[in-house]
A and B are shown apart, each in its own frame.
Chain A
């Protein structure tokens, strides 16, 4: 489970980094870029919060 969360987190960060580059080289249009950034943000925070909770033992 921890590995899956780690993988998803990296995937979300990679999407945040790559989407603007793809947009820059005309492989994405602006609405798609915004959707990817929004989706990646949701995944990143959900995964990071879940990982944080697992590491700290319990949520607060």
Chain B
């Protein structure tokens, strides 16, 4: 994308639909709208990523019970699909605008810049987790690379650091030079990667000589349970909170002919966030039961997948990390470019790639992925509530729509207050009171919407007076 001039580019643009960067300042015309088929494939591909190799085993490390995992994922993913269908897709097909354009009308351009910085940084850390996952695969043939355990937060040595720097550097260069190639590569790899996840599960069931998932997924004796049904349900429902209730997928679903295309999210949730997570979880179950691994310490995903499937598995871990990290770096670059318009796209992507690579060196982001994803949703999702109030409830509640555009404000303080108060309380609950991060996105989202509605009503009354 060409550099530098407003409007801010759209970092949430889909990797698999090249045309989503168009119509950034106007509603998507009927001729550019797409049927549901395009969205089913896109969601299935986007949610079978490198990080799935971490999340499944992390549930096992957290001592989840079998029924809690299987039922929690069923319920949580259903909630996520319903959010995509009845909130995101309804708003997207009603507005047919990008998240950023709509936010600009509600929040003002300067506040959108603040959102862009937060978004860009969190994208970088997420991409950093994918660099870490890929490094656990690249490091397998090199015994001098000391792999991190689930409890590691700092780099494990010079060889590990060098591996991450090389992978992160490569991903950054590709993000600068060949984004279109990576987007196509991602689409090509998606069905194969899903089958590799399933193959992992089947091979492990054979090795464990059982198909009794309920018995296999029971926590190992002595493992303290840190997550139950509600934890799994909330995590799976809101690990993509920024995308559905946070409205980032407005940018994608605005191309849908009908809101029913929102059902396509089910492909991503039930293939990627159910089947792939359970298959990945089985890998650690095997290592705990048969190889004596300590569940809480875990085993690096590259090592487990190579052991199960050989080189094809190893390549899958690298490609899964690469194809998801690259667009994430690209999106982070666009977000930074939106915040710092003097940067060229290359400079912005370099900045994003640099932050991502440094983050990847630290295993904390990958090894604490469940917590990080919750934090990510807690910070970004509440902004979506502002759009929900504006689109669904403004007329009913007597609130003006698009207040920043209406009152010609570059910075809508009402939105900032509504955004920061719930986040501040949530961060205190997380870091001081130890409340798990995955419980936070929903209450923050609801609180942000209600505070915004109250403050905007007050501002509207002040405008009239």
- A residues adjacent to B (C-beta < 8 A): 13, 16-17, 19-21, 23-24, 30, 33-34, 37-38, 40-41, 44-45, 48-49, 52, 56, 60
Number of interface residues of B (CB under 8 A): 22
Shortest beta-carbon distance from A48 to chain B in Å? 4
Inter-chain contacts of B188 with A (CB < 8 A): 45, 48-49, 52
Q: Give 1 or 0 for each of B195-218: 1 = CB within 8 Å of chain A CB.
A: 110110011011000000000000
Q: Is B166 an interface residue (CB 8 A)?
A: no
Closest 6 interchain pairs by CB?
A34-B310, A37-B312, A20-B202, A48-B188, A20-B199, A16-B195
Q: With a CB–CB cut-off of 8 A, which chain B residues contact A34?
A: 309-312
Q: Could you tell me the dominant secondary structure of chain B's interface residues? A: helix
* Chain B residues with CB below 8 A from A44, complex form: 192
Known contacts A16-B199, A30-B203, A38-B312, then 7 further A-B pairs from the complex at CB < 8 Å, ordered by chain A residue: A20-B199, A21-B202, A37-B310, A37-B313, A41-B315, A52-B184, A60-B178
Other-chain residue from B195, B312, B315 in contact with A17 (beta carbon distance below 8 A): B195
Q: What is the minimal beta-carbon distance from B271 to any residue of chain A, in angstroms?
A: 13
B180 touches A (CB below 8 Å)? yes
Q: What is the CA–CA distance of A19 and B203 in the complex, to the nearest angstrom?
A: 10
**Interface of A: prevailing SS:** helix
Query: Would B196 and A16 count as touching, CB distance under 8 A?
Result: yes
**Nearest CB in chain A: distance from B311 CB, A:** 5
What are 12 A-B pairs at a CB distance below 8 A?
A: A13-B191, A16-B195, A16-B312, A17-B198, A19-B199, A20-B198, A21-B202, A33-B309, A37-B312, A40-B312, A45-B188, A45-B192
A41-B312, A41-B315 known; A13 vs B203 contact (CB < 8 Å)? no
B142 at the interface (CB under 8 A from A): no
B203→A23 contact, CB < 8 A? yes
Query: 8 Å CB contacts to A: which residues of B280-330?
Result: 309-313, 315
Residues of A within 8 A of B392 (CB): none
Q: Does B184 lie within 8 Å of A24, measured CB to CB? A: no
Would A24 and B310 count as touching, CB distance under 8 A? no
Q: Give min CB distance, B327 to chain A, whole Å.
A: 16
Asked whether A38 lies within 8 Å of B178 as measured between CB atoms, the reply is no
